[in-house]
């Protein structure tokens, strides 16, 4: 059974930083591509970032809205996917989800390509 547990969300002011973590099992960490998505109230779930595993060479992919501010990393010692979020903006406010799947490269940013999801963690950025 695939389990994904997010942590690290909270309330911060604009310009501050947060680190989110997604913990999972060793099997899941090694067998699936893990990614971060987010969903703001009244909006569709959107891709945030991922590091391609399983032969992907460790290349990172990011949504244009977070490039240069967010960094995704994999910690093999802890089986976690981390999301370092810097220079946070009010528009980054959302529930952030960790997802696991085996997407083809062309679908790596599609939520439909990920089968398993965590429960989400709230990130609120105040002005």
What is the chain's mean pLDDT, rounded? Answer: 94
Looking at residue 93, what is its pLDDT? 98
d(CA 46, CA 99) in angstroms, rounded, equals 12
Pairing type for strands 70-75 and 80-85 reads antiparallel
Sign of CA dihedral 38, 113, 71, 31: positive
Residue 15 has pLDDT above 90, yes or no: yes
Q: Which residues contact 109 (CB under 8 A, 6 or more apart)?
A: 47, 50, 61, 63
Beta bridge partners of 74: 81
| pLDDT tens column, 32-65 | 999 999 999 999 999 999 998 766 677 899 999 9
% pLDDT > 90, the chain: 86
| pLDDT value of position 55 | 63
């Amino acid at each position: 059974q695939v389990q994904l547990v997010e942590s690290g969300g909270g309330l911060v002011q604009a310009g501050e930083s947060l680190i989110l973590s997604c913990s999972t099992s060793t099997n899941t960490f090694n067998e699936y591509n893990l990614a971060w998505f987010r969903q703001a109230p009244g909006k569709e779930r959107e891709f945030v970032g991922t590091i391609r595993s399983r032969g992907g060479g460790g290349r990172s992919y990011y949504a244009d809205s977070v490039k240069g501010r967010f960094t995704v990393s994999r910690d093999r010692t802890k089986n976690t996917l981390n999301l370092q979020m810097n220079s946070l903006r009010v528009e980054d406010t959302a529930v952030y989800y960790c997802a696991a799947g085996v997407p083809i490269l062309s679908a790596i940013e599609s939520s439909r390509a990920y089968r398993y999801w965590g429960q989400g963690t709230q990130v609120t950025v105040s002005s």
